[in-house]
Amino acid sequence: MDFAAFMETERRRVDAYLEDVLPPAGHPPVELHEAIRYTVFAGGKRVRPIMTVVACGALGGDVDACLPGAAAIEMIHVSSLIHDDLPCMDDSDTRRGKPSCHMKFGESTAVLAGDWLLVYPFEVIGRGAEDGLYPPQVAAKICATIARGVCTSGIVAGQVLDLDAESREISGDELRRIHELKTAALMEACARVGAAVAQAPPDLTETVAHSARALGLCFQVVDDILDVIGDAKVLGKPTGADSEKDKNTYVSLYGLDTARQMARDLADEATKALEPLPPSPWLERSRELIDYIVSRTS
Amino acid sequence: MDFAAFMETERRRVDAYLEDVLPPAGHPPVELHEAIRYTVFAGGKRVRPIMTVVACGALGGDVDACLPGAAAIEMIHVSSLIHDDLPCMDDSDTRRGKPSCHMKFGESTAVLAGDWLLVYPFEVIGRGAEDGLYPPQVAAKICATIARGVCTSGIVAGQVLDLDAESREISGDELRRIHELKTAALMEACARVGAAVAQAPPDLTETVAHSARALGLCFQVVDDILDVIGDAKVLGKPTGADSEKDKNTYVSLYGLDTARQMARDLADEATKALEPLPPSPWLERSRELIDYIVSRTS
């Protein structure tokens, strides 16, 4: 199976699992669950859950057992998109080519759908242990790992710094810090959750965490590049949005060529970090995922 | 020790624990953690953590071991206050006699502080297991229990229904449903978390859960009554706010006398539900807590 087919298969598996654990359409309160399902099934590529799966597989774990943690991280990611789009935050009317959650369902429902998607993951993770997918100490570890990727060292802190940096010049170090928190921390959590489910030893856990951290930063640099050179139709969002908002990006700070080189360097770092892992088809998929992210066009 | 002194001692114990687990003042991003600490330490009575503690004690559990779960629920409660006060929700400028979080720190920081307070609890609960306060399966159970009190059967669903019911006439059944979700569900979670830490058998878990559910509804009926007859100074918030906003309350629907009787009936139900428990000083505290809630003036 080539990598594109693998991504598609995994995407479908994650979507089927999300479909399984989310309350069905029509569940009361109807509007709340509609807003949740609208945003969760808006066509995400499921990069984060797939990072969790390949990390778990490369460490010899049961990839089916990491679905609750993988889906949990995706839900939290979707929550952050909903809240980031709010008028008081980035004020984005569209997301993935469709009206953003608050444009479609109103601001209060969007805030609450985001809240729901921040907390429900922890029920899903707990239920995974009740269903015997992993021992309860793994569930406790997954909860703590994901929470770290969200709070003081994660996406919430990153969004605070990002808003604070709007329309003022910042250094490369500051920009890196923002993206470490806003993007790389949750991607690192993906790898750590995969490692927790695989019950990997600490040194190999750090190995995949390091790779995922570099890949997370790489993902963000590529995002900044695509905002400048990407095709709006392929991306599903208007390009040029960052420069219009005077946002600090890798491109605005370093120029296009250097940003491209930085993305390649980070991808190399992510690949190299995986060297201590034993060869396996999953390790191969991990490498392909890195290539996919650094060369993606959407 | 009389009950007032007991409440004060427990409140201090919960506050000391919260002080211990929250990032210190000045921790970056400074504004985020300031907003969190401002709202967490705004003078809450800590009724929910104390409900957790007395349930755990009455079931023979180690009350120190339930502090992470008790503090987790309080943080989630505080998060719901921050988000409920937002302009797109109840649009409240003050809370406990002080500017609400978004008035003091701006809307985006308030949304993010609320997000932080929804997720950090799960790190605290996981850490409780790592520290050996309870076995990991108890941590997994606490996570799932709290998540249920927040999502589709909890405060988030309750707030959706509450906003939807604004300025339209609703039935007594609808009002009860709103408050079951918005108030009673998280209070029921308090009792269930206490029971989980005590590793109580299912029948006794349901006993304290039933009592807490009735007490949660009682708490809300009393809230509605205090909005009409309370002393704004003692309450720390303006009275008459509900009727000004045309809010459906137990008083607007049933009148003051019937609402008072309903509060007493719910308190009786909460007390009666505890009958299967063996006599103990903690059971006595549980009963006193019910008396305190039904007769409170703030």
What's the pLDDT tens digit per position in B196-206?
999 999 999 99
Assembly ipTM: 0.96
Average pLDDT over residues B259-284: 98
% of chain A surpassing 90 pLDDT: 89
Is A257 an 8 Å CB contact of chain B? Answer: no
A171 Cα to chain B: minimum distance (Å): 17
B-contacting residues in A 160-219 (Cβ below 8 Å): 160-161, 163-164
What pLDDT, on the 0 to 100 scale, is given for residue B233? Answer: 61
| Among A83, A112, A147, beta carbon nearest to B122 | A147
CA–CA distance, B141 with B144 (Å, rounded to integer):
5
What pLDDT, on the 0 to 100 scale, is given for residue A112? Answer: 98
Inform me whether the pLDDT recorded for A111 exceeds 80: yes
What pLDDT, on the 0 to 100 scale, is given for residue B237? Answer: 62
What pLDDT, on the 0 to 100 scale, is given for residue B298? Answer: 75
Chain A residues with CB under 8 Å of B106 CB are 88
A113 Cα to chain B: minimum distance (Å): 8
What pLDDT, on the 0 to 100 scale, is given for residue A30? Answer: 97
Cis, peptide link before residue B29, omega less than 30° from 0:
yes
Stretch among A185-194, B137-146, B240-249, B280-289 having the lowest mean pLDDT: B240-249
- What is the band of B167 on the pLDDT scale with cuts at 50, 70, 90? confident
Sign of the dihedral defined by the CA atoms of residues B150, B152, B156, B157, in that order? negative
Phi, psi angle pair for B101, to nearest 5°: -55, -45
- Residue pair A250/A228 in contact by the 8 Å Cβ criterion: no
Q: What is the overall mean pLDDT for chain A?
A: 94
Q: How many CA atoms lie within 13 A of B124 on its CB side?
A: 28
| Among A111, A116, A122, beta carbon nearest to B111 | A111
Phi, psi angle pair for B134, to nearest 5°: -155, 160
| Among B31, B83, B130, beta carbon nearest to A111 | B83
% of chain A surpassing 70 pLDDT: 95
Inform me whether the pLDDT recorded for B16 exceeds 70: yes
Average pLDDT over residues B249-277: 97
A-contacting residues in B 10-29 (Cβ below 8 Å): 23, 27-29
Inform me whether the pLDDT recorded for B230 exceeds 80: no
Select from B91, B90, B136, B116 the least CA-distant residue to B35: B116
Phi, psi angle pair for B95, to nearest 5°: -150, 125
| Among A107, A151, A161, beta carbon nearest to B88 | A107
A275 Cα to chain B: minimum distance (Å): 30
Residue in A with minimal Cα distance to B156: A112
What pLDDT, on the 0 to 100 scale, is given for residue B63? Answer: 97
Stretch among A75-84, A149-158, A239-248, B69-78 having the lowest mean pLDDT: A239-248
| Three-state secondary structure string covering chain B | CCHHHHHHHHHHHHHHHHHHHCCCCCCCCHHHHHHHHHHHCCCCCCHHHHHHHHHHHHCCCCHHHHHHHHHHHHHHHHHHHHHHHCCCCCCCCEECCEECHHHHHCHHHHHHHHHHHHHHHHHHHHHHHHCCCCCHHHHHHHHHHHHHHHCCCCHHHHHHHHHHHCCCCCCHHHHHHHHHHHHHHHHHHHHHHHHHHCCCCHHHHHHHHHHHHHHHHHHHHHHHHHHHHCCHHHHCCCCCHHHHCCCCCHHHHHCHHHHHHHHHHHHHHHHHHCCCCCCCHHHHHHHHHHHHHHCCCC
Select from B107, B81, B92 the least CA-distant residue to B182: B81
Q: What is the pTM assigned to this prediction?
A: 0.96
* The two three-digit tokens of residue A167, written as one number: 């329309």
Average pLDDT over residues B225-254: 77
What's the pLDDT tens digit per position in A15-42?
999 999 999 999 999 999 999 999 999 9
What's the pLDDT tens digit per position in A54-74?
999 999 999 999 999 999 999
A-contacting residues in B 50-79 (Cβ below 8 Å): 76, 79
What pLDDT, on the 0 to 100 scale, is given for residue B296? Answer: 87
B252 Cα to chain A: minimum distance (Å): 24
CA–CA distance, B245 with B89 (Å, rounded to integer):
12
What's the pLDDT tens digit per position in A126-163?
999 999 999 999 999 999 999 999 999 999 999 999 99
Average pLDDT over residues A228-251: 73
Q: How many CA atoms lie within 13 A of A89 on its CB side?
A: 24
Inform me whether the pLDDT recorded for B231 exceeds 70: no
Instruction: Count CB atoms within 10 A of the CB of residue A2.
Output: 8
Inform me whether the pLDDT recorded for A204 exceeds 70: yes
CA–CA distance, B285 with B293 (Å, rounded to integer):
12
List the domains of chain B with CATH numbers. Answer: 3-208 (1.10.600.10)
Average pLDDT over residues A2-24: 97
The secondary structure of residue A237, as a DSSP letter, is S
Average pLDDT over residues A250-272: 96
What pLDDT, on the 0 to 100 scale, is given for residue B244? Answer: 66
A154 Cα to chain B: minimum distance (Å): 10
CA–CA distance, B180 with B178 (Å, rounded to integer):
6
- What is the band of A232 on the pLDDT scale with cuts at 50, 70, 90? low
Chain B residues with CB under 8 Å of A109 CB are 160
Q: Quick one: CA torsion of B185, B189, B195, B201, rounded to 10 degrees?
A: 50
Instruction: Count CB atoms within 10 A of the CB of residue B54.
Output: 29
Q: What is the overall mean pLDDT for chain B?
A: 94
- What is the band of B207 on the pLDDT scale with cuts at 50, 70, 90? very high
CA–CA distance, A36 with A38 (Å, rounded to integer):
6
CA–CA distance, A192 with A198 (Å, rounded to integer):
10
- Residue pair A122/A143 in contact by the 8 Å Cβ criterion: yes
| Among A112, A118, A127, beta carbon nearest to B119 | A118
- Residue pair A81/A95 in contact by the 8 Å Cβ criterion: yes
Test B111 with A125 for CB contact under 8 angstroms.
no
B84-to-A116, B1, B78 alpha-carbon distances in Å: 14, 36, 10
Q: Environment class of residue B210 by beta-carbon count within 10 Å: exposed (0-12), middle (13-18) or buried (19+)?
A: middle
Residue in B with minimal Cα distance to A163: B108
Inform me whether the pLDDT recorded for B25 exceeds 80: yes
Inform me whether the pLDDT recorded for B125 exceeds 70: yes
Chain A residues with CB under 8 Å of B121 CB are 147
- What is the band of B54 on the pLDDT scale with cuts at 50, 70, 90? very high
* The two three-digit tokens of residue A295, written as one number: 């060369």
- What is the band of A91 on the pLDDT scale with cuts at 50, 70, 90? very high
A-contacting residues in B 111-150 (Cβ below 8 Å): 111-112, 114-116, 118-123, 125-127, 129-130, 135-137, 139-141, 143-144, 146-148, 150
